[in-house]
Amino acid sequence: MSCTKVRKVQGNDCFQRINFLYQISKQTVEINPALSSHYGNLIINLAKKNVLKIHPDIKRQICKKCKCVLNNKSSTVKLRTKNKSKYIQKICKTCGTRKNFPADKNKDYKVWLEKPDGVIEVIKAAE
């Protein structure tokens, strides 16, 4: 008889709510950008209130100024170069804010969560 210890993740219900709000925000961005930015604002406030880190993939897709989700219809994506380094620039169509992300192949840039040192333990949800 194997005894597996199931750990309860702190803030699991908040992560589920953030995921739900993110999905709704993605669906409503084309129809009503103001409603999408309201949901994005709820995501940010919920994470701050519960002291949770939003996953970088989600964080990259939320505009810092208007909190609207940046997808192909709500933003313009351009590839730029500056001082021999390439970066991707997303421009929000709602407020005009620009976000830059490194895109060099020769530089080994990774988000902290993608590095081996960033992950200490992987916790799987109990089924």
Strands 98-102 and 75-82: unpaired
Q: How far is residue 29's CA from residue 36's CA, in Å, rounded to a whole number?
A: 5
Per-residue model confidence (pLDDT) at position 83: 84
Range of the domain at 51: 12-107
Asked, for residue 7, whether it belongs to a domain, the answer is no
- Does residue 122 belong to any structural domain of this protein? no
Please determine, for residue 1, whether its predicted confidence score (pLDDT) is greater than 60.
no
One-letter amino acid of 27? Q
pLDDT digits (tens, 9 = 90+) for 99-121: 988 887 666 666 666 777 766 77
What's the rounded Cα separation, in Å, for the pair 37 and 33? Answer: 6
pLDDT tens string 8-38:
667 788 989 999 999 999 999 989 999 999 9
Predicted confidence (pLDDT) per residue in 64-79, tens digit: 999 999 988 889 999 8
Q: 5 in a domain, yes or no?
A: no
- The reported pLDDT for the residue numbered 106 is 63
